[in-house]
Structure 1
């Protein structure tokens, strides 16, 4: 499936609309040049009151932005204004020479209407109808209260909708100004509502999640695939149903968590479906955790490397040798402290053990809520996510002092949660990782994915330029709160392989909202999703049997 490309550029229409908006605002600019005022009158017919000029100019600038964003509502607004201008010409209230020009622009925009695929969402239309109705009623009431409505050219007709002016009302000189302010605010709210991107969709339902769980189990799925099963994510599928993308929408940014899940042969089709959905919904696409080798499939999105995923190979892992001395010593300390371990399926946890492990999790986080998006699951220890296993560490008394949860992705395990009771024996985390690697090797699994090493190349190199030195210093100073450097040093002890990961976004102008959305998703509280009443069954079939 190839992404349907827009048939043509829209910047000429956007630039023209923006120019008209600027000319509308001229009466509000004191001591503006005479030629500029004459150009403004060519647009409005007669000079507008400064307050009306400002509001109408702001509204039209918003419409110009909507044109550039390919909003169908913005196109409709421009066509309506041109139509009003033609009516004024036909009624003899305007310069006759404008008629052919306006008609030509109207026909040209109508023929290119396919360039504007983003239709207003029904919820936005309903809200706009309420705002518009209130604006009309308020304007009519204001006209009655003040005593008259201004009439005249198209420019004055538009201005009268912002607040009528008329007969003097003794003791109520403030009323026309208040009505004009409320009318202007209502008009801007109406335009903003109609041009807003679609609201965030509901999270995927149980049927979609079962489909995604089967795709996660496919041998070609990435190590981040299990995190698509978070219950706060929505889904878009490739046309053949053999690949999917889990995403969330925040601040108008549709953020995908990693590469598509499922059959690699259908990844490009899933990406095309996701980008098309973004295009028609008015969302700006972004990806957190994309692999560089798949970046070309994302249809020109820009990429910034943000770090590396830490990968261990169970078949070749051993605690012997000088390179593994630190890990070996940490594991031995846990053995000397009497720590014992076991690895079991999360859904096989007894209620008593589950409660004790949740207490370990709460004490480990200091009461903070579970957070994450791209490399974290939700519903810790509920057993509702298929394929999750838990490695548990017990002290001499048989009480749990730490645990790690791993999710199954194809022929790999991915670390989701690493929790250790404060004050517990040293070496517990290293011991649990070693035990999980042995568990994976016994089952023929190829990879165990650990934590994410943010800014690894910056932390690893010693030859830094001045800007890199400043960045490293900031990371070092902030480490007590963000734990980036300490997590890197912990991971490095295992001598892992690294899988680079990127953030993808559409344009540099999107960088700030994309960063805000991704940070909010990673560190904000988890949005509650639909919770299944019972654990979901393990994926029983293979993708070829769909």
Structure 2
């Protein structure tokens, strides 16, 4: 990597560590502030440690402080997420919250340590301003101010509502009610044996509900862009792939749910889910531009508050990802059949050979066609088959499926269609071009779910396709991805932990069965990896990967509108 790109990657990684520390700091100080009354119970054991300055502000501020501190603490929990993504507005709001929490605590004799910690945290954030370069748009700023005002109003309503309730129940004058309220709150805040009052419980419940709703909304947010803009970018990406692509996963960069980052003659396909930016496949373009496009993309992602992760990365890209501060993790292997050396002879291929012969005797045949050249009647039949065996409303597989059929822009694809003795299509496989492998890469497999369908129909199509490619002088045929293949195959190089993960994963997904399906073709195994950020992001990035691949679903809330401004790409 060039010296300039290395320095850019190093600076981004350094700022990322500061953002991670800020996120943890916000959570820690929020918890400390929230549970300050628990700290008060320690005062009896260490009276000198917890003795502090007397109140210097009007009593009213301190008597109702606990209500505001509860909302402030939960606001810090929300800010932690945006601090992690480098949001400048969250940085300023967090400093303000910590200062206010300190003011609410510094005048209460028992809580001065919380005030000191809050002020120290605010000072540290102020000193690390450079780590928070993401400036929110006007819409997000206005929305944040409205939400903040609503939270402040809600806290005030709880305090005022308590006063009104007290006055009505006891037939007091307003002045007597205020004095009684202050007295009761003073007992609550300073007597260690008192249970929480109703108003504090209400503030706590409302804060928790708000935090959960916010999390569900953020977890399900996927940015929408205009159809025309998306189409133009996709076709620009297609021209780059036509010129420089050819890997078994490269064509999948054109999936409908991806966006594209361009630099010179290179393109990088990605999708944004919440604050996670998923990249797959590896960037495509001239080899001499690899380091440059990745350094520029990491800088772009930082300025948009995104945590970058890569799915199904190839080995040749790992040094570049690691130099930018990402951690690489083995995911599994992609199976690539050598069509020139494949054979059905021998004991090892007995089951394939017998299954192939059985389906031939049943009158089945396979035709290999261009998807755009088939008749409308056959197209309708294949579309019906695709719906029969598809799981869910959309095609699954962010890294290894195209997500669509019969798009007129997708030229040069191949369909292998299996028809029965009556000439009715009963199964098909769509293949993507993979010139670097001198062959094709599997996109989607679909078959009829009728009870009388013979077993091994997909194997029949694959064997016929291998034979066709061998005759044409082609070599590589990419099949399915085998997750944690080393562990599933009990390879001596796999760790006990990997074997345990593979064993548990096989109970919920087709992990072992996919490996067995691929292994019978005696393929070449091409390792694939994930590249993820620092440890605190692993869970979020892992869930985003699982969600993108269709392996996990998040509960969702109704749409709350756009959550940000359009992001400009180079």
Per the normalisation by structure 1, the TM-score is 0.74
Change (3 A) 1:200 1:121: farther
Structure 1 residues 356-392: Cα deviation after superposition (integer angstroms, max 9, x where no partner): 1223333334887532211112123455533321011
- Match for 1:487 among 498, 506, 514? 514
Partner of 2:315: 292
Partner of 2:37: 28
- Match for 1:362 among 359, 378, 387? 387
- Match for 1:209 among 227, 231, 234? 234
1:290-369 matches, within 5 Å, as 290-298=313-321, 299-320=324-345, 323-365=348-390
Partner of 2:445: 418
Structure 1 residues 17-46: Cα deviation after superposition (integer angstroms, max 9, x where no partner): 778656755752342323454458799998
- Match for 1:404 among 429, 441, 452? 429
Contact 2:261-2:268 at 8 Å conserved across structures: yes
- Match for 1:374 among 399, 403, 410? 399
Superposition deviation, residue 506 in structure 1: 0.6
Structure 1 residues 408-431: Cα deviation after superposition (integer angstroms, max 9, x where no partner): 234442101112224334443233
Residue 500 in 1 paired to residue 527 in 2? yes
Structure 1 residues 92-145: Cα deviation after superposition (integer angstroms, max 9, x where no partner): xxxxxxxxxx99999986675322112235443232133234456667878988
What is the distance in 1 between the residues matched to 2:134 and 2:157? 35
Partner of 2:129: 113
- Count, aligned residues: 494
User: Which runs of no fewer than 5 residues in structure 1 stay unpaired?
Assistant: 89-101, 149-164, 528-546
What is the distance in 1 between the residues matched to 2:412 and 2:273? 29
Contact 1:24-1:44 at 8 Å conserved across structures: no
Partner of 1:50: 66
Change (3 A) 1:21 1:45: farther
What is the distance in 2 between the residues matched to 1:202 and 1:409? 30
What is the distance in 2 between the residues matched to 1:104 and 1:21? 13
Contact 1:220-1:263 at 8 Å conserved across structures: no
Structure 2 counterpart SS, 1:261: coil
Superposition deviation, residue 243 in structure 1: 2.2
Partner of 1:256: 279
Partner of 1:523: 550
What is the distance in 2 between the residues matched to 1:326 and 1:50? 72
Contact 2:74-2:208 at 8 Å conserved across structures: no
Change (3 A) 1:132 1:473: closer
Superposition deviation, residue 78 in structure 1: 5.0
Structure with a larger share of its residues in helix: 2
Superposition deviation, residue 491 in structure 1: 1.4
Partner of 2:90: 74
Structure 1 residues 227-280: Cα deviation after superposition (integer angstroms, max 9, x where no partner): 11111112222x21x222222222422122231233333333333233223322
1:435-446 matches, within 5 Å, as 435-441=464-470, 445-446=474-475
Change (3 A) 1:109 1:451: closer
What is the distance in 1 between the residues matched to 2:53 and 2:545? 43
Residue 434 in 1 paired to residue 463 in 2? yes
What is the distance in 1 between the residues matched to 2:355 and 2:27? 65
1:379-390 matches, within 5 Å, as 379-390=404-415
Superposition deviation, residue 56 in structure 1: 3.1
Change (3 A) 1:81 1:446: same
Partner of 1:168: 177
Change (3 A) 1:74 1:475: closer
Change (3 A) 1:279 1:337: same
Report the more deviating stretch, 113-122 or 290-299: 113-122
Partner of 1:10: 18
Structure 1 counterpart SS, 2:403: coil
Report the more deviating stretch, 508-517 or 263-272: 263-272
Superposition deviation, residue 354 in structure 1: 0.9
